[in-house]
Amino acid sequence: MIGRLIATAALFTGALTIEVGGVKATFSNGGIEPRGVDQLQLWANSPQATLMLDNSLHAGFAGVNTTWQNVISGAYVSTPEGVVIGTSRDGSALHTQLTMQPRERQHWSLKPNMGGTYRFAVIGETRNPQTGAQTFGKLGKDMGNRQVQFAVHLGNAAAKGNVSQLQVFREQLRSFPFPTYCLPGNEDIAGGGRKAWRQLFGEMPEVFSIGHDRFLLVDNAAGTLDKPTYAWLENTLKRANDEHARHIFVFLHQPLVDVRPGLNQGMQDMAQVRQLLQLFQAHRVHTVFAGHIPMYARETRRGVYYVTSGGGGQKLAPLAGAGAINHYVRVEVNGDDVRADAFKL
């Protein structure tokens, strides 16, 4: 592989930096891989992403050919001046040639082009050595038939940090007619899996906007939030409220609470669980989605909806009752109305 990883949190949260062709390239909200002396492959893990190129150490012009993958239909790339240089009308990969003047630093932005009513899907726990890939494929096909525009995967696509499984999983995502944005699960990051996951999908946490709505992807794969992530979450929710966000959706791997009586596969730090319940209530979060437990459940706590969606292919959880189904959740947002329905095989 040409190029090398330089840093994992350069310039801004959720950014990876590599060097290619003598130019430093920093990509936020996704994975970045060099493919040649002057070629980059970008895997967007959000409908909004930014590529920063730094040619400041060189006295000559530089050019980088980029391929933007995992994009929403209608998404476009714009120059630092706001000029559109590429549009994906059907969600196919975007190819752009980016040029840098001597000793220049500039950024290019991937942006969605969505308005009005939109639909997204939520799914988790797709791993299973025998049936997971097949089940996930069937569910993905059904998502496409129901015209979702993007999906959020809540983690556990691989078993015990298996790098080859993570790579196969990302290849499977290419076959869907919509992009899928992913959170790491506890199985994905086991052993050395976190490094591989980060290089394929990027850094966490992430926030993006669709119209007036906010989407927060938060990494609690280890079962807790560290202090920097909690501070980011608190500040991001406050900013969303200050900017009068219409709906706020939060995505986690592990649920705050296990809804099954007598069991607890949710987060183990009860003090932090109470903090998060209060935080989500105080900042008017609409829905918190989580996976981790292979089942479907929905409940309301302090005026906030909590959805567990872990039926993507893993062996279904015991004592899940009617929630023991292979499924995904489709969410339709139409102005002030939000409708979430579970669709099962």
C-alpha pair distances (Å), 208 with each of 47, 110, 112, 165: 7, 11, 10, 27
Which residue's structure tokens are 């981790």? Answer: 292
pLDDT digits (tens, 9 = 90+) for 117-155: 999 999 999 986 556 678 999 999 999 999 999 999 999
In the prediction, which pLDDT does 10 show?
Answer: 33
C-alpha pair distances (Å), 301 with each of 195, 253, 276, 281, 323: 35, 18, 11, 8, 18
pLDDT < 70 stretches in the chain: 1-14, 128-132
In the prediction, which pLDDT does 14 show?
Answer: 60
Omega within 30 of 0 (cis) for the link into 205 = yes
If phi > 0 it is left, if psi is from -120 to 50 it is alpha, else beta; for residue 236 that is alpha
Amino acid (1-letter code) at residue 189: I
Angle between helices 163-174 and 132-145 (to 10 degrees): 20
Domains of the chain and any CATH numbers: 4-111 (2.60.40), 118-344 (3.60.21.10)
Are the beta carbons of 18 and 32 closer than 8 angstroms? yes
In the prediction, which pLDDT does 130 show?
Answer: 56
Strands (E), 89-229: 94-100, 105-111, 118-123, 150-153, 180-182, 206-210, 213-217
Residue 294 phi/psi, 5-degree rounding, is -75, 80
